[in-house]
Amino acid sequence: MSAQAGTQALVGDARRKRRRGVNGGSGAFYAFISPWLIGTVLLTLFPLGYALWISFTNWDGISPSQNWIGLENYTDALAEPQMWASLQRTGLLAIVIVPVTICGGLGLALLLNEKVHWRSGLRMLVYLPAIVPPVAATLTWKLLFDRDSGAINGFLAIFGADAVSWMSGNTVFIVLMVVMLWGIGAGVLINLAALQDVPAELHEAARLDGANAFSAFWHVTLPSISPVLLFQVITTTIGVLQTFVPALLLSPANGPAAITAVPEANRIFMVDVYAQYFAYSRYGYASAMLWLFFLAILVVTIITFKIGGRTVFYAVDLSEEGKQK
């Protein structure tokens, strides 16, 4: 056997071993990952498949029978003005919340990255609302915005303004946005970490080249933290689109009746889905709505990735990394 053939045989054997997971490390890897893997199959893939099955039936959640109705739930959902209205509200929420959260979080992070007095205390104050349980935060805002006894109207009264009915009509949508923006501190923390990871020599080089503060931010800081910003855009978008709990908690009713009392302005998509499941007992229809929404989120995420791929700057040159391998 020639030396070349011997080398090829060794390489081939190594590849086969790697594929089959011969070494002990591979076994340990799968052993460690198996709880997650099994959990995903049982608690995500199986429910997804089950919801897909239900979406082709007219099941009401408690009846013993599930009649197969094909694509009727999907065609009904797509023809239902209420679904489009709730989708529109959800889209509006995302259009407002995502940019404000990202830009606001970045702006605050830039400020808190400066060497100022009480910097640690200020950082803690900004981050604090993010660790307050969302239920407690939402209920507190609900009390603050109460028309007759809330502090917001009390503050407005100082300037002679009449009390506003915040919790009804379209104004309750503003309350929902305030509640959601209250947790902006989580993004600030991520941006702060990203800002501190920007190499100082890049800023020094920019300064030597005569760049002012804005130029340095635009040409150095922003590209350097762009992968982190893309991550935030994607996770915040998905999170906002799936918003449910704050809208439900802002409902005037408590308990199971809460879902039917959510003001129209706050009937965002997941509220609509929940109401279809548990108020109207339309399990099949609600499952179809969820699957349509799942596909919509998938499309939004792919588009975000595509756009992000063109604008995000990665510090590692992937082509160079490929060559080394």
Partner 1 sequence: MNTHKHISRRSVLGGAALLAGFAAAGLTGCSASGSGGAAQKSGGLTIMSKGGEIKKEVIDAWVAEHPDVPITLIEDDPTRLNAMLAAGTPPDVVRSLGATSTANIASRGLALDLDPYVSKSTVLKDGELAKINDVWRWDGTRQGEGARFGLVKDWSQDAMFWYNTEAFAAAGVPLPTADKPFTYDQLLEYAALMTKRSAGKVDQYGLFTTAPTIEAISSMLATSGARAFNDDLTKVDFTSPEAMRALQWHVDVAKAKVGYTLADPNPDGWDWPPFDAKRIAMAAAGYWFGGAVAGNPKTAEFARLAPAPMMGTERVSPSTSATGHWISAKSNMKDEAFAFLEWYVAGDQAKTRAQSGWGLPAVTSLTSELPQSQPYQAEALAVQKNEEQYLQIMSFSPYAQATAVSAAVANLFPRAVDGSLSTAQFADQATTAVNELLKQGMELAGKKG
The single residue among 81, 133, 256, 322 that binds partner 1, judged by CB under 8 A, is 256
> In whole angstroms, how close is the CB of 219 to partner 1 at the nearest point?
44
| Chain centre distance of CA 217 | 26
Distance CA 254, CA 257 (A): 6
> In whole angstroms, how close is the CB of 298 to partner 1 at the nearest point?
22
Does the protein bind partner 1 through residue 136 (CB under 8 A)?
A: no
- Closer residue to partner 1, CB minimum distance, 164 or 195: 164
**Could you tell me if 183 and 104 are in contact, meaning their C-beta atoms sit under 8 angstroms apart?**
no
* Per-residue interface string for the shown chain with partner 1, residues 21-50, x marking contact by CB under 8 A: xx---xx--xx-xx--xx-xxx--xx---x
10: which DSSP letter?
H
Provide the token pair at 103. Answer: 């830009």
3-state secondary structure 47-116: HHHHHHHHCCECCCCCCCCCCECCCHHHHHHHHCHHHHHHHHHHHHHHHHHHHHHHHHHHHHHHHHCCCC
Does the protein bind partner 1 through residue 61 (CB under 8 A)?
A: yes
> In whole angstroms, how close is the CB of 255 to partner 1 at the nearest point?
8
- Closer residue to partner 1, CB minimum distance, 37 or 95: 37
- Closer residue to partner 1, CB minimum distance, 216 or 273: 273
The single residue among 235, 281, 301, 304 that binds partner 1, judged by CB under 8 A, is 281
> In whole angstroms, how close is the CB of 291 to partner 1 at the nearest point?
18
Does the protein bind partner 1 through residue 60 (CB under 8 A)?
A: yes
**Could you tell me if 158 and 152 are in contact, meaning their C-beta atoms sit under 8 angstroms apart?**
no
Does the protein bind partner 1 through residue 162 (CB under 8 A)?
A: yes
Name the residue among 173, 180, 176 with its Cα closest to residue 100.
180
> In whole angstroms, how close is the CB of 307 to partner 1 at the nearest point?
33
- Closer residue to partner 1, CB minimum distance, 156 or 202: 156
Does the protein bind partner 1 through residue 51 (CB under 8 A)?
A: no
The single residue among 74, 278, 297, 301 that binds partner 1, judged by CB under 8 A, is 278
- Closer residue to partner 1, CB minimum distance, 82 or 212: 82
Burial 262-295 (b: 16+ CB within 10 A, else e): bbebbbbbbbbbbbbbebeebbbbbbbbbbbbee
- Segment near partner 1 (CB under 8 A), from 95-103, 160-168, 206-214, 220-228? 160-168
> In whole angstroms, how close is the CB of 270 to partner 1 at the nearest point?
15
116's torsion region: left (phi>0), alpha (psi -120 to 50) or beta?
beta
DSSP string computed for 208-276: HTT--HHHHIIIIIHHHHHHHHHHHHHHHHHHHHT--HHHHHTSSS-GGGGGGGS-GGG--HHHHHHHH
Provide the token pair at 276. Answer: 């279809």
Name the residue among 233, 234, 216, 213 with its Cα closest to residue 224.
216
> In whole angstroms, how close is the CB of 75 to partner 1 at the nearest point?
15
- Segment near partner 1 (CB under 8 A), from 95-103, 104-112, 182-190, 253-261? 253-261
Name the residue among 60, 48, 92, 56 with its Cα closest to residue 76.
56
Interface ranges with partner 1 (CB under 8 A): 20-22, 26-27, 30-31, 33-34, 37-38, 40-42, 45-46, 50, 58-65, 67, 82, 142, 146-148, 153, 157, 161-165, 167-169, 251-254, 256-257, 259-261, 263-264, 275, 277-282
